[in-house]
A and B are shown apart, each in its own frame.
Chain A
Amino acid sequence: MMQTPDPQLLFDLKVAEEQRIEPKDWMPEPYRRTLIRQISQHAHSEIVGMLPEGNWITRAPSLRRKAVLLAKVQDEAGHGLYLYSAAETLGVSREQMIADLHSGKAKYSSIFNYPTLSWADMGAIGWLVDGAAIMNQVPLCRTSYGPYARAMVRICKEESFHQRQGYEIMMTLAKGSQEQKAMAQDALNRWWWPVLMMFGPKDDESPNTAQSMQWKIKRFSNDELRQKFVDATVPQAEYLDLTIPDPDLKWNEARGHYDFGAINWEEFWEVVKGNGPCNRQRLEARQKAHAEGEWVREAAMAYAKKRVMSYEL
C-alpha cells in the first residue's frame, strides 16, 4: 500500500537537501507569495533602474562610452525580462506585475529614486550600485526556486561587465582634470549612503529575512552583505584616491572588518514610502511608456489574429 507523502514534508526535505523547487512542484502558499513579491520587485528594479542611467545615453562623452552605456541599460531590460519570466512560472502574469508596479502596490529598489546629475554618476552607479547588486545576486544563483536561480545565473554572467565599466569610468575621471576628479568625488559623496541602504533594513528590523533564509530563497542577511560590500569597496576607493564620505569608517583589526558610521534610516524609509527625490518621475515615466505603447501592443495583436484567420480561410 503506497502512502501519499505529506507535501509539506517533501518540500522541506527538498529545500534541506539543496534540491531546487520547480514550477509544477507543490509549494507552501507563503513561499509562492514571497517569491512572487521578491522576483517581481527585482524585475521592477531592473526596469525602473534603466531610467537614471538612460538619462545619460544621449549625453555620453564618447562613442565608445555611448555604446557601452546603451548596451548596459539594454542588459537591464533583458534582466527585467528574465525575471518577469521566472515570476510568470508561478502563475502571475507580467501584465499583472506591471499593473502592480504602476499602481504603487509593488516596490522596486529605492536606489533608483536618486537622480543622476553628472556623467560621473554613470561611473558611480556601475561601480557601487552594480557592485552592491552583485553582492546580493551571486548568492541568489543558488536560491531554492529553480527558474529564479537560473535567471540569476544568466544575469550574473551578463552583469560582470557592468561593474567593471563603471569602475573604468571612475578611474578615467579620477586620473583626469581637476574638474573631472571633483565630479567623481561628488558622485561618490551622493551615492555612497544610498548604496549602503540598498541592502535593506538592519537584520533586527527585517521581518522577512528569517523565513526567507529558512526557505533558502535568501542566503545571507542584509547586514552580512552590507559588511561584505564595505570591506570590498574601501580599497577600490583608495585606489582611485577618492574619499568615502564617512568619518567613522575605519579598519577594525579585532573584527577583521571595516567599521562604518550610522545609516540614516529615516531617509531610507521616506524614500521607500515614495518621498525620494525622483519617486514620482520614475513611476510616471514607466506609466507613460506603458500607456503610450498600448496602441502598438493592440495593433500587433490585431494583425496577428487577422493573419491566423486568413491562413484558416
Chain B
Amino acid sequence: MFDTKTYSSEVNQALCDYLLRLADSSLILGHRLSEWCGHGPILEQDIAMSNLALDLIGQARNWYQLAAQQAGLGQTEDDLAYLRDAPQYRNVLLVEQPNGDFGQTVMRQFLFDAYHYYLLQKLGQSADENIAAIAQKSLKEVTYHLKWSSEWVIRLGDGTEESQRRIQTALNNLWEFTGELSKPDQTDEILHAAGLVPDLRKIQADWQNRVLSVLTEATLQIPTRTWMQKGGKEGIHTEHLGYILAEMQFLQRAYPDCEW
C-alpha cells in the first residue's frame, strides 16, 4: 500500500494523531452530508451533496489507511472508524454540527471547505510523499466543494429575505466553531517543525480572506463574537458526536469480529 517513512517516536505519534484528525473530519462531514441523501431540496442538489459526501468518505479512507500503516499496529480503516469512541475521535467540532436546514448545511460546508482547501494545498507540498499524494488528490475534489458551497452561500445570502435570514442565522450559530480550525496545538507544532505539515497561522490568513470576501458578496454580517469553542482535536466534542457514532458503529458493536 503505502511506502511509509520512519520517524522518531515523538513525530510518529504526532503524525498518527494528525492523520486521524484529517480522516475523522472528512468522515464525520461525509456522514453528515450522507444524511441528506433522498431528502435534498431538489433532485440535482441531492445528487450534488452525495458527490461531496462520497469524496469526503473516500478521503477519510485514504487517511485512515495511511494512519493505520504509520501506527504499525495492524489496524484497518474500519477498526479506526468503527471501534474508537468519541473521546478518541479527533475531528473538528464544526463538522459534527447537525445538518439543520439546507442553509446550515451549506454554511458548515463553506466554513470547512475554505479551511480544508488551503490546508490541502499546503499539505500537497509536505515532505512526506504519502501525505502529499493524498492531499493533492483530495485538493481536486475540495476545489469543487469550495466552489459549490461558496456559490450557495452567495445565492442564499443574496436571494430572498427568508434565505438571507436563514443563512445569517446559520453563520451566527456556526461561527464559534471556526476558531479551532486554524489554532495550532502541540501536534501541529511538532509536525510543522519536522516539515510535514504547514503552519496553521498562515492558513488562518488565507481562510479569513476567502471567507470574508464570500460573506461580503453574500451581503451577510460577519459575527462580531470572538469567543470560540474548542476541543475536537483533543477528543472533547459537542454532544452530537456521540449520537453520530452510536448510529454509525452500531453493527460493528452489536456483532463484533464479523466480516461485512
Quick check: do A and B touch in the complex, using CB within 8 A?
yes
A contact residues vs B (CB 8 Å cutoff): 47, 50-51, 54, 57-67, 70-71, 73-74, 77-78, 80-81, 84, 119, 169, 172, 175-177, 179-180, 285, 288-289, 292-300, 302-304, 306
Q: Determine whether the beta carbon of B39 is less than 8 Å from that of A285.
A: yes
- Knowing A81-B47, A293-B40, the reply to whether A180 touches B160 (Cβ < 8 A) is no
Which residue in A64, A73, A179 is a CB contact (below 8 Å) of B255?
Answer: A179
Do A119 and B54 touch across chains, with their CB atoms under 8 A apart?
Answer: no
Which of A77, A288, A298, A306 has its CB near the most chain B CB atoms (within 10 A)? A77
Check A70–B41 contact: CB distance below 8 A.
Answer: no
For residue B199, CB closer than 8 A to chain A, the reply is no
B80-113 interface (Cβ within 8 A of A): 81-82, 101-103
The 8 tightest CB contacts between A and B, nearest first, are: A293-B41, A299-B159, A299-B163, A50-B38, A74-B50, A61-B260, A61-B251, A296-B41
- Per the bound structure, the CA–CA distance linking A292 and B35 in Å amounts to 15
- Given A119-B251, A306-B158, A70 and B38 contact (CB-CB distance below 8 Å): no
Asked whether A180 lies within 8 Å of B255 as measured between CB atoms, the reply is yes
Highest count of chain B CB atoms <10 Å: which of A47, A180, A299: A299
CB-based contact B260/A59 at 8 Å: no
B229 lies within 8 A of chain A by Cβ: no
Q: In whole angstroms, what is the CA distance A300 to B166 when docked?
A: 13
The answer to whether A296 and B156 have CB atoms under 8 Å apart is yes
Pick the residue among B47, B159, B166, B247 that contacts A77 (CB under 8 A): B47
| Nearest CB in chain B: distance from A294 CB, A | 8
User: Contact: A77 with B31, CB < 8 Å?
Assistant: no
Whether A57 contacts B260 in the complex (CB less than 8 A), given A63-B78, A81-B44, A296-B163, comes out as no
Residues of A within 8 A of B120 (CB): none
In the complex where A58-B247, A74-B47 touch, is A176 in contact with B259 (Cβ < 8 A)?
Answer: yes
Q: In whole Å, how far is A61's beta carbon from the nearest beta carbon of chain B?
A: 4
Hey, which chain A residues are within 8 Å of B250, CB to CB?
Answer: 59
| Chain B 152-194 per-residue mask, 1 if CB under 8 angstroms from chain A, else 0 | 0011101110110010000000000000000000000000000
Q: Which parts of B235-260 form the interface with A (CB within 8 Å)?
A: 244, 247-248, 250-252, 255, 258-260
User: Is there an interface contact between B159 and A80, defined as CB atoms closer than 8 Å?
Assistant: no
Q: Which residues of B contact A303 (CB under 8 A)?
A: 154-156, 158-159
- Chain B: residues with CB nearer than 8 A to chain A? 27, 31, 34-35, 37-47, 50-51, 53-54, 57-58, 60-61, 64, 77-78, 81-82, 101-103, 154-156, 158-160, 162-163, 166, 244, 247-248, 250-252, 255, 258-260
Across-interface contacts of A66 in B (CB, < 8 A): 34, 57
Enumerate 18 A-B pairs (CB-CB under 8 Å) in ascending A order: A62-B78, A62-B260, A63-B81, A70-B34, A70-B37, A74-B46, A77-B37, A77-B38, A78-B47, A81-B44, A81-B47, A285-B38, A289-B40, A295-B162, A298-B160, A300-B155, A302-B160, A302-B163
- Minimum CB–CB distance from B174 to chain A (whole Å) comes to 18
Given that A289-B38, A296-B41, A303-B159 are known contacts, is A74 also in contact with B60, CB under 8 Å in the complex?
no
Residues from chain B with a CB closer than 8 A to the CB of A289 are: 38-41
On chain A, the residues within 8 Å of B37 by CB distance are 50, 54, 57, 70, 73-74, 77
**Known A-B contacts A63-B77, A119-B251, A172-B260; A296 and B42 likewise in contact (beta carbons under 8 Å):** yes
In the complex, which residues of chain A have a beta carbon less than 8 angstroms from the beta carbon of B31? 58
Q: Is the CB of B41 within 8 A of A59?
A: no
15 further contact pairs, Cβ within 8 A, besides A77-B47, A302-B160:
A58-B244, A59-B250, A67-B54, A71-B54, A73-B50, A77-B38, A77-B50, A81-B47, A172-B260, A175-B259, A177-B255, A285-B39, A289-B39, A300-B156, A304-B155
- Smallest beta-carbon distance B13→chain A, Å: 24
A80–B43 touching, CB < 8 Å: yes
